[in-house]
Amino acid sequence: MNNHVLRLVAGAALLLFGCATAQVSPDAVELSVDFAWQASDRCSSQSPVIRVKNIPAATKTLQIKLKDRDVPTWNHGGGTVAYDGSDVIPAGALQDGYNGPCPPSGSHRYQFTVKAIDAAGVIVGTGQQTRNFP
């Protein structure tokens, strides 16, 4: 096989198995991310309101991920929402696979990461915010 075919096969394998990393634009901007926990967010499948500023005009979708910084192996999921020009991701927008903060005891640090993605699938902005719960 020539190098071109090998690269195509390797790229397809990475996409198939979810190991590929999205391309990041050299002009990607830093997004400002903010959210606040409510008592009702404990162990909830409904995401809180998330505010994102500095979203590039080329953005088509926002990819959101929640991570417990104290137990990073626990998958809290997230989701992808269509970008409608608003800087507010409404409560409950992360429907599939989102698991809210649920520390077994004490307080944990939870981090939302937001990636702005254009129509070609290129990351044009990233940002994150960490808050304690409770």
pLDDT in tens, 73-114: 999 999 999 999 999 999 999 977 899 999 988 899 999 999
Cβ neighbours of 39 (radius 10 Å): 7
Mean residue pLDDT across the chain = 86
Identify the pLDDT of residue 29. 97
| Residue 97 in tokens | 């696979």
pLDDT value of position 39: 87
Distance, in Å, from the CA atom of 78 to the CA atom of 91, rounded to the nearest integer, reads 12
Rg of the chain in Å (alpha carbons): 17
For the cut 50, the answer to whether the pLDDT of residue 16 exceeds it is no
Domains of the chain in start order, with CATH, are: 22-133 (3.90.280.10)
